[in-house]
Structure 1
Amino acid sequence: MMRNPKAIRSTRIGGRHQAGVGLIEVLIAVLVLSIGFLAVAAMQARSLSTNNSAMVRSMATIASYSILDAMRADRANAVAGNYNGTIKGNACPTTSGTLAQSQLKQWCSIDLLPIGLTASTISTIACTAAAGTTTAICTVTIQFDDSRAGDTGTTSQSSTQQQFVTKAML
């Protein structure tokens, strides 16, 4: 059987047979792969910062319920307003003369410090006694800097401040 000479000529480039992959194809393949790897790395970085933000929000939730549980255990002082006040994350109370002061000191050092050591982490507790009863409506507000969450699309400082508010009846 005889080979077709036209078929052989069609596979020749410049008088030679093409053997293997050309250098330009390899270069383009490496470029496409490197762009893909950079995209995966960017997604990982964004995922880590978003997970960090979610962790801080969870810690704020735990902190607010923690102090509310302590106030439920010490209802008389909570209704009297002994827990009321503002605490900054970098300035925990140092006095522990009463049970309320001890609870606030412990709460700040254990629950608030992991949220942030900066002065931008501020917690406010406000209990208002219900008239004629031994109950109170208490509001725990925790503000913290969430700039670790990454780019939110805005440049204002207020966009990174998060506020978590919990209300409970004691």
Structure 2
Amino acid sequence: MKFLETAIAGVKVIEPRLFGDSRGYFFEAYRKDLFAGAGIDARFIQDNESFSTGGVLRGLHYQIPPYTQAKLVRVVSGRVLDVVVDIRLGSPTFGKHVAIELSGESKRQLFLPRGMAHGFAVLSPEAVFVYKCDNFYCPASERCIRFDDPALGIDWRLPPETVKLSPRDRRGVLFKDAELFEEY
């Protein structure tokens, strides 16, 4: 397994080692000792899966304390642009983002520590997205930042007028109005 640093401290791309032959493939998606050796010591307690059609954009979501979440995300099938925004007050990369393409073909994963807003845009006709969380989902603690906030300058690689959003994501707030917290 390779653990690659990104422009945001704590956000890592994980490239698993694939073993394949004419029958198919095998890889370890998570192994506690290797992750700990790369500085990832999250204790995952919830797994989630979502299916989305092309053009769907989910996010930018996060939870406020005490329900903040670290996540390990990957795509089982299809392709997505995964975006992580650093919302940790005091962080040197506060307000910055990284965008990484994840796909069922590449098997790449992305780890995001607590204190990140997260979203993804489906670039293929459909996608299955799975992720592990180190804290439970709490609807009362969930917040959403607008995907198209000009202050963030995220290129989602989808025409904004064709993006498919949930009603909750349509009600997202601008980054300047987001409820943030000391997590750094």
Larger Rg: 1
1 or 2 for the larger relative contact order (CA 8 Å, sep ≥6)? 2
What's the TM-score, normalizing by structure 2? 0.24
Please identify which structure carries the higher strand content. Answer: 2
Please identify which structure carries the higher helix content. Answer: 1
What's the TM-score, normalizing by structure 1? 0.25
